[in-house]
Amino acid sequence: MAERAGGPPAREVQQGALSRLFARLSQAVNWLLFALVFSIVLEWVGMVFWWPEEGLQHSRKMLTAELSYLQVDFRRSLVSDDPARFAQTMADRAYRILFEMTRLVDVIDWLVRPPQTEEGGLRVRLHQLYQPLAEFILAALQITQVFALRVAILILATPVFLLFGTVALVDGLVRRDLRRWGGGRESSFIYHWSKRSALPLLVTAWVVYLALPFSLHPSWVILPFATLFALCIAITASSFKKYL
């Protein structure tokens, strides 16, 4: 009887953990798609209001700048032996999956071709509608490649957060032991506040870097957020309760 009573709750716990894992993964994918759409819309708004003289060249310059960052400053990484090739592969796969496998590139080529003199029908009208939107569509394609490159750069920069977090954890535990043996006071408010701030800082670093409408060296985004993340880890470890 005891085994029967104890069986179902265990299965419910396992199912709950698995469902939470899939929920987190789907939420991460949704955030990435939202960031991609937001980046494209932001580029379109900039082409109309902020850099109308550059137009399509703005996204091309961003793509060139992101590639130069990889080739110059990301020569080594714990994630990949060749970071530039790793990022380029991610960008090519994203382009292939989103545009080639969906036949969107073929549709664009079909619309770009000028109609014949006596040709009529739907393609002529679609060609006329496509002409004023051509730069915006091509800019969306290029921003998608920029987005994929930035995701690759963030993946390559993940060891920075791990390194900063490990050092901060050790420092925080040492401070906790000093506080414990010295009879220092502890604050549950500071502990819970710093504990809840660590993960949002990681998410904010991804959102800010992916949504930038201009090219910026990744170090100017990754290092400040990695430092804040390490600070939260150090405060959490140092303010952890003295006795378990």
Average per-residue pLDDT for the chain: 77
CA distances from 143 to 42, 135, 212, 234 (A): 10, 12, 11, 37
CA dist 30 and 241 (Å) reads 37
Q: What percent of the chain has pLDDT over 90?
A: 0
> What's the gap between Cα 34 and its chain centre?
10
Average pLDDT over residues 39-45: 88
CA dist 161 and 173 (Å) reads 18
Q: What percent of the chain has pLDDT over 70?
A: 79
Backbone angles phi, psi at 85, to 5 degrees: -70, -40
User: In the structure encoding, which two tokens stand for residue 235, read together?
Assistant: 């405060």
Q: Over the stretch 155-164, which tens digit does the pLDDT of each residue have? A: 888 888 888 8
What confidence tier does 15 reach under pLDDT thresholds 50, 70, 90? Answer: low
> Can you give the pLDDT at residue 218?
84
> Can you give the pLDDT at residue 213?
84
Asked if the model's pLDDT at residue 230 lies above 50, the reply is yes
Residue 153: Cβ-neighbour burial (10 angstroms; 0-12, 13-18, 19+): buried
Q: Does residue 185 contact residue 241 with C-beta atoms inside 8 Å?
A: no
pTM summary value:
0.75
> Can you give the pLDDT at residue 188?
63
CA dist 27 and 67 (Å) reads 28
Which candidate, 237, 209, 236, places its Cα nearest to that of 225? 209
User: In the structure encoding, which two tokens stand for residue 74, read together?
Assistant: 């990301």
CA dist 51 and 44 (Å) reads 10
Residue 143: Cβ-neighbour burial (10 angstroms; 0-12, 13-18, 19+): buried
What single letter denotes the amino acid at residue 236?
Answer: T
Q: Over the stretch 167-189, which tens digit does the pLDDT of each residue have? A: 988 888 888 777 766 655 655 66
Asked if the model's pLDDT at residue 227 lies above 80, the reply is yes
User: What is the rounded (10 degree) CA torsion for 75, 79, 83, 88?
Assistant: -170
Asked if the model's pLDDT at residue 2 lies above 50, the reply is no
What confidence tier does 57 reach under pLDDT thresholds 50, 70, 90? Answer: confident
Q: What is the end-to-end Cα distance of the chain in Å, rounded?
A: 35
> What's the gap between Cα 230 and its chain centre?
19
Q: Over the stretch 67-126, which tens digit does the pLDDT of each residue have? A: 888 777 666 666 666 777 777 787 778 778 877 788 787 777 777 777 666 666 676 777
